[in-house]
Structure 1
Amino acid sequence: MRLPHKAHLAVVDGNKFVLMQNEGTPDSPSLKEVAKPELTASNFSAGVRHQDDVGRKLGRTDLDELAHAAAASEWLNAAVLDGTIEKLAVTADPKTLGEMRRHYHTKLQQALIAEEAKTLTGEPISRIEKVLLSE
């Protein structure tokens, strides 16, 4: 994934959300953490699609994690709409990314330059920069 200078990178999973910005170039990324929003998971609309009790008991569906993904999308939507974010890349585990996509505003879709279905939350910035170069 090539991240342009000043583009933002959202690193998300079912519990964490970190927003970074590339202070370097696409060939030499230098990420800086710019926000670690505390999200309130209030959109449990995924529950309509995930009503399988067996899946929930076996841990395949966690509505709190899906609501966190929706909250992350809503936060990103607001940041794009107010002009804080102009170019955005998103990396999240596959389930979280799938739920986030359901909540993308049209303007966020236009600002989106890349998505990666990969779990990088909890990784040090240097590791994330290496992943950006290997894509």
Structure 2
Amino acid sequence: MLLPHGTVFAIVDGENFELYRNSGIEAEPQLTAIETPDLEATNYSSAAKDHDKISRFQSGAPKDRLDKMEEAAHVTAVAQWLNSQVLSRQIDKLVVVADPKSLGQMRRHYHKELEGVLLGEVPKTLTGRPTQEIIRVLHS
């Protein structure tokens, strides 16, 4: 995957959100951490709809259901924040790295403009990993 200078990397899972920018060159990317906003996971109505679609064939205790709704609300909040950054021209090149479940939920909330600046998606859990490991995974 090409990683042009200035590309923003959103590293996401059901609980965490990390942001990096490629401050290096395309051939030798260097990920520099960007301050991550505090997001309020308040879109539980959307999370509940997403969760109900996913869990029709699954059963779980109420606590398990609440945890899944919180995760869905978190990734929805991340997707909405990324949409706002793209629409305000703060992000013009984006790569999203998220566990497969979170990535699927995020895709449902992508704005058309975000889809236009999206250079790639990586369905892996890489939150909390060193930047060199993230770069290695992106190049594989």
The TM-score with structure 1 as length reference comes to: 0.90
How far apart, CA to CA, are the structure 2 residues paired with 1:118 and 1:31? Answer: 17
In the TM superposition, 1:1-135 aligns within 5 A as: 1-44=1-44, 45-51=46-52, 52=55, 54-57=58-61, 59=64, 62-134=68-140
Counterpart of 2:47, as a letter, is A
How far apart, CA to CA, are the structure 2 residues paired with 1:64 and 1:30? Answer: 32
| Structure with higher helix content | 2
Deviation by residue 1:30-54 (Cα, 9 ceiling, x = unmatched): 0001122211101121312434485
How far apart, CA to CA, are the structure 1 residues paired with 2:37 and 2:59? Answer: 29
How far apart, CA to CA, are the structure 1 residues paired with 2:134 and 2:124? Answer: 11
Counterpart of 1:100, as a letter, is M
Structure 1 unmatched runs, 5+: none
Count of paired positions: 134
How far apart, CA to CA, are the structure 1 residues paired with 2:124 and 2:75? Answer: 14
User: Which range is displaced more, 77-86 or 48-57?
Assistant: 48-57
Q: Give the secondary-structure state (helix, strand or coil) at the position aligned to 1:55.
A: coil
Would you say the 8 A contact 1:27–1:133 is kept in 2?
no
Q: Give the secondary-structure state (helix, strand or coil) at the position aligned to 1:64.
A: helix
How far apart, CA to CA, are the structure 1 residues paired with 2:118 and 2:92? Answer: 9
The TM-score with structure 2 as length reference comes to: 0.87
How far apart, CA to CA, are the structure 1 residues paired with 2:89 and 2:26? Answer: 22
Structure 2 unmatched runs, 5+: none
Measured after TM superposition, the shift of residue 59 of structure 1 is 4.6
